[in-house]
Structure 1
Amino acid sequence: MKVKVALAQFNISFAAPQKNRERVAELTAAAAKKAADVVVFPEMWNTGYALDQLNELADEQGQETEQLFYKLARQYQVGIVGGSVAVKEGDHFFNRTLVVDPVGQVVGRYDKVHLFHLMNEHKYLTAGDQENYFRLAGVPSASFICYDLRFPEWVRTVARHGADILYFPAEWPAQRIEQWKIMLQSRAVENQAFVVAVNRVGDDPDNHFNGHSLVIDPLGKIIVDAGEKDDLTMAEIDLDQLQKVRGPIPVFVDRRPELYK
């Protein structure tokens, strides 16, 4: 079985939700023209890290994003791993992923569990506490957000359900991009899964982002590196490779969770 994924690596317009929604619609249309099964977006694409403006900018209950993805998924018959957006619920703000299947049904929701102090997320956002395990394009999958990558115990906790693809939307600054690559390769190898990671490009007032969205196979080989371009990058995932990796080295069978404390 093969799945065609589109990495929607783009320059997020700071504090401009409508402009970013238009760009997401354009990229979804482009992904459909390339016969993508799934299109994946970066983290906080609706607002960027305009955290001090979330009261005015955040999507109320996530409804605008959900309606947009519903329309796009049905129009183009494509699955969407919606990166993440800033969402407002009462007095709380969340960094939230929505996953939508090709008929527009939300099959996954995830609020970022690990908040990144270096970018002041803890001052503005509320952390999530739930896993996001779902099926998309017929594939058991899981998703995380950016800083979650640095917590292999969390990724393994979710991956143990049998996820074949692990999705990581991010806004990962250029100065730490080599760590991004190393850790993504590690998460692929240790969980014997494909990794699809989508970063942004461009600048906000405090950071420079240089992309390098990746697709990595379960042996840690980089299948696709999107480089630093603001564009759509395509990759094909051959899921038949999984059994060849998992069969000889059954790490999930050989685990000793009673010792991991």
Structure 2
Amino acid sequence: MMKKIALIQMDVAYGDPKVNFARVSKWVMDAASTGADIIVLPELWDTGYDLKRFDMLADREAKATTEFLSDLAEELNVVIVGGSVAEQADDGMKNTMLVVDANGELVHKYSKLHLFQLMDEHLHLVEGKDEADFELDGVPSAGFICYDIRFPEWIRKSAVNGAKVMYVVAEWPEPRIDHWRTLLQARAIENQCFVVACNRVGADPNNEFGGMSLVVDPWGEIVTEGGSDEKMVLTEIDLDKVDDVRQQIPIFRDRREERY
């Protein structure tokens, strides 16, 4: 099964949802015009890391953002892995991923589990309690946000549940961009799945972001990589490759769950 994927490696206007919604609308329309089946946005594309103003900027229960992405997806007949957005929930502020299918239906909502203290997330956000797993067009998938990839036990849980594609959205800083690439390759190799990862570019008042959005195949080979400039990164993946690799090296059959 072939899927054409577009990663929107965009800059984000700090604390300005109006500008960012307009940018995303154009990026998604441009991506759809290439024939992309799945369009992936970066983390916090609506506000950036303007955490101190989250209570003013965040979308209540992510309703308006969900409607925005759903309308785009239905109009353009594409799947949108909607990065993550600022959500105001009953229990606090959250960093939340939204996934909508080509019919405009919300198929997955996941709030970031691991909060990144170096960027003060723990001071402003509450962790999510959602599972990472979902299904897209019959394909078992999972979604993670940035810092989550440093926790292989969390990623492995989805692989054990059958995920063939791991979507990662991020605002990963440039100084640690080598970690980004290495961690994503490791997650792909150890879980024998595709990793589709979209990172923003540009800067905010406190950070410079590294881009390098990439797709990694189940062997750990980088299929495509985006560099450090604002751009759309396009590629195709053959999902049948997941089953082929898992048959060649049957790590899930050989796991010893009774020991770890």
TM-score (norm: length of structure 2): 0.98
After TM superposition, the structure 1 = structure 2 runs for residues 188-203 of structure 1, keeping only pairs within 5 Å, are 188-203=188-203
User: Using the alignment, how far apart are the partners of 2:213 and 2:35 within structure 1?
Assistant: 19
The farther-off stretch of 161-170 and 245-254 is: 245-254
Q: Which residue of 2 aligns with 1:14?
A: 14
RMSD: 0.9
Q: Which amino acid aligns with 2:259?
A: L
1:243 deviates by 2.2
User: Using the alignment, how far apart are the partners of 2:71 and 2:245 within structure 1?
Assistant: 38
* Identity %, equivalent residues: 49
Q: Which residue of 1 aligns with 2:119?
A: 119
After TM superposition, the structure 1 = structure 2 runs for residues 120-135 of structure 1, keeping only pairs within 5 Å, are 120-135=120-135
1:91 deviates by 5.5
CA offset digits 1:63-82 (Å, max 9, x no partner): 11101011000010000111
CA offset digits 1:142-165 (Å, max 9, x no partner): 000000000000000122111110
Which aligned runs of 4 or more in structure 1 are off by greater than 6 angstroms?
none
Conserved 8 A contact 1:37-1:137? no
**Structure 1: segments with no counterpart, 5+ residues:** none
Q: Which residue of 2 aligns with 1:175?
A: 175
User: Using the alignment, how far apart are the partners of 2:107 and 2:224 within structure 1?
Assistant: 26
User: Using the alignment, how far apart are the partners of 1:137 and 1:222 within structure 2?
Assistant: 24
Q: Which residue of 2 aligns with 1:105?
A: 105
Counterpart secondary structure, 2:67: helix
Counterpart secondary structure, 2:87: strand
1:211 deviates by 0.3
Matched length: 260
**Structure 2: segments with no counterpart, 5+ residues:** none
CA offset digits 1:11-32 (Å, max 9, x no partner): 0000000111111111110111
User: Using the alignment, how far apart are the partners of 1:219 and 1:91 within structure 2?
Assistant: 40
After TM superposition, the structure 1 = structure 2 runs for residues 3-152 of structure 1, keeping only pairs within 5 Å, are 3-90=3-90, 92-152=92-152
Counterpart secondary structure, 2:12: coil
User: Using the alignment, how far apart are the partners of 1:191 and 1:210 within structure 2?
Assistant: 25
Q: Which residue of 2 aligns with 1:235?
A: 235
User: Using the alignment, how far apart are the partners of 1:199 and 1:65 within structure 2?
Assistant: 19
1:212 deviates by 0.2
The question of 1:162 aligning with 2:181 is answered no
1:129 deviates by 2.2
CA offset digits 1:112-149 (Å, max 9, x no partner): 00000000000000001221211224321100000000
Counterpart secondary structure, 2:27: helix
